[in-house]
Amino acid sequence: MIASAAVLSPLLILQTYGTDDADDQSLQEAFTDAAREFHVPRSVLMSVSYMQSRWDSHPGAPSVTGGFGPMHLVDAPRGQATVREPSPRPPEGGPVPPLVAAGPAGAGTPNPSPTRAVQPADLRQAARLIQSPAGRLRTDAAANVRGGAALLAATQRQLGNPLSADPAAWWEAVARFPGTQDVTSAATYADDVFDLIRRGTHRTTAEGQDVTLPATPGVKPPHARPRAPQRPKEVECPAELSCDWLGAPYEEIDDNEYGNHDLADRPRDQSIEYIVIHDTEALLPNMLLTVQDPTESSWHYSIRSSDGHVIQHVRTKDEAWHSGSQFVNARSIGVEHEGFLRQPGTWYSEPMYRASARLVRYLAKKYDIPLDRQHIFGHDNVPSPTADSIPDMHDDPGPFWDWRHYFDLLGAPLRATAGPNSDMVTILPDFAKNKPRYTGCTESGKPCPPHGSSAVRLHTAPAENAPLIQDPGRKPDGEDSTEDVNDLGSRVSTGQTFAVAGRDGDWTAIWYQGHKAWFANPKKQPTAVGAAGRMITPKQGRDEIPVYGRALPEEDAYPDDVPEQPESPLPYSLLAGQRYVTQSRVGSSYTARSSITDTPNPVVWGREHYYEIQFGHRLAYVRASDVDVVDASSTAGSPAHKDAPVQKGGPVHR
């Protein structure tokens, strides 16, 4: 997130309600009935619906493009709203950005050349085809599915194709269903639909519907993939994605001030180790104005909510200003996703998730970045570089970003790697069923509508009524942690891995910012699973060691012309006997920001090494010389912990 959150029209605020008493087979039956009625293979209908919405209905609530129901049928006027965003500049900055329309076109966004005029899955046309009021298709999942089936059958007829029982015969009709004008996006969408048909899947939806698509391994469409249009030469993007270039300016402003990124020569001068996931907290057209302003921040890629279209702004070899930490900027790629963390169902679309995962998978392979949550993390997980910067760090993409689904799409599923009584746990709730209480989605203190979440809340004792864990860095004046959707003080997130500090019935304690933090982890619906790996612990004889937000070189590593960077230990304690999970050892480095140059500034490298650790909601660093590294027991039968686990097998020195 770069800009401040906008105040949206109530039309765009998603109302997602769980329905615990729902008939959990009714949606499955609706697919069967509609497929039979309109002579569409059920596997095609169900897979298209999954790609549109993952079978979620969100009855009566539109996406940003005006899409409704499990088929995401678009009623464009219902999804449009006029929004004024607050300026992302400081108070003394420039003018408020202009009014823009949020609608299907995504005004102001670069688009690839169209190949044909196509309409999206039009709700009103679907209503006419099934002779039903349009309003019913917005609120009734079965009617919405019937409308989607009718549209697929109508498209198949328009193409001159028979209503075949063979799913492979429907490739072109499927490619046209989302209404994209870009041949690359359309072909990728259809390929994804048929890949899902071959693999099959099962999901419990946000509304409590239990839906299964059986696998049909032999389906292979005969359609040849169309040739993709030529891209700008600057674009770094996988071939199956629709990508454009809209460059961020590297130019002098005044008095040797410059913006809005730094030249580098990565990975030659500095390895790329992280990919940071953001949401824009702004409409994409306004963010595109921001990234072209040399007085503003920058990031490498933007991804549009409506269709997953990717726009690159900064070459990956250069350093964008996106994370709030120059140390992380120097080692990372920043990816912005159009959306607002308080309205996830409106903005966090399946096309955006899929495009993002394809891009990140491509970048991770290119730069040898591990696909884990200490290397692929959110803006809300970026370590604060200094103690005084902690309250100003960002909190996107927030608790409603579906990390479990995202890592499935990355091809690196999050799963148990050890038995249930292991020394480490990975946070892994069922997203759809995990619905912690949040406030502040529409106004301060007001409860948010229940929604699936990647986050698990932490308490000071193993009880729901126990106080929440406090974060003295985030709230230095001593305010309590809250259930506000933007308050990270007492939360952990899916995929993060922690050392176990204790167990008590259905509760598990972890070491978290120097304290035992408890979370509900019932056996019937676990929120964490066993993990194997490495942990750090203070060296014997050390009562406490400092924790840092960046891994800086030692004093004598700095050349005379580069000012030494002051260390700023974070205001937390890492005490003897405590353990924290590490997934990487990193070298110390610093790159000076000085003036605009024709060549990158040199990287200052130190001899000191650090371990990156999962210390709280955010990552942190400890000096390698201060700690021992121990391997976690992965034995399912190891004893449950009532206190800090004892060191097993001696330290593993690195």
Q: In the 3-class helix/strand/coil scheme, how is 590-649 assigned residue by residue? A: EECCCCCCCCCCCEEEEEEEEEEEECCCCEEEEEHHHEEEEECCCCCCCCCCCCCCCCCC
Residue 44 C-beta-side C-alpha neighbours within 13 Å: 32
What pLDDT score does 82 carry?
35
What pLDDT score does 65 carry?
82
What pLDDT score does 119 carry?
61
What pLDDT score does 77 carry?
63
Angle 42-53/350-367 helices, nearest 10 degrees? 80
What pLDDT score does 653 carry?
26
User: What is the enclosing helix (H) or strand (E) of 357?
Assistant: helix 350-367
Quote the tokens at residue 239: 């071939």
User: What is the enclosing helix (H) or strand (E) of 51?
Assistant: helix 42-53
What pLDDT score does 25 carry?
84
What pLDDT score does 244 carry?
95
What pLDDT score does 104 carry?
34
Those residues of the chain that have pLDDT short of 50 are 3-22, 80-109, 111-118, 634-654
The amino acid at residue 221 is P
Quote the tokens at residue 525: 């619906």
Measured torsion, CA atoms of residues 51, 57, 62, 65, in degrees rounded to the nearest 10: 10
Closest among 312, 271, 308, 305 to 288, alpha carbons compared: 312
Which phi and psi (to 5°) does residue 584 adopt? -165, 150
Q: Are 32 and 42 contacting, i.e. CB atoms less than 8 angstroms apart? A: yes
The amino acid at residue 459 is H
What pLDDT score does 117 carry?
39
Residues 152, 43: Cα–Cα separation, whole Å: 13
What pLDDT score does 597 carry?
85
Which residues have CB under 8 Å from 135's CB, separation 6+? Answer: none
Residues listed for the chain: 654
What pLDDT score does 18 carry?
38
Residues 378, 322: Cα–Cα separation, whole Å: 12
State the CATH class of domain 10-213.
mainly alpha
Residues 102, 261: Cα–Cα separation, whole Å: 28
Planar angle of CA 550, 551, 556, nearest 5 degrees: 130
Q: Where are the domains of the chain?
A: 10-213, 414-654
- Integer CA distances (angstroms), 381 to 81, 411, 413, 594, in order: 32, 21, 20, 27
- Integer CA distances (angstroms), 233 to 236, 265, 376, in order: 8, 18, 27
Q: How many CB atoms lie within 10 A of CB 478?
A: 7
Residues 175, 48: Cα–Cα separation, whole Å: 10
Q: Are 115 and 184 contacting, i.e. CB atoms less than 8 angstroms apart? A: no
Angle 26-38/42-53 helices, nearest 10 degrees? 130
Residues 148, 273: Cα–Cα separation, whole Å: 43
Closest among 376, 348, 256, 271 to 316, alpha carbons compared: 271
pTM value surpassing 0.85? yes
Residues 442, 136: Cα–Cα separation, whole Å: 26
Strand partners, 610: 586, 623
What pLDDT score does 407 carry?
98
Burial (CB count within 10 angstroms: exposed 0-12, middle 13-18, buried 19+), residue 642 = exposed
Question: DSSP 3-state assignment of 30?
Answer: helix
Question: DSSP 3-state assignment of 194?
Answer: helix
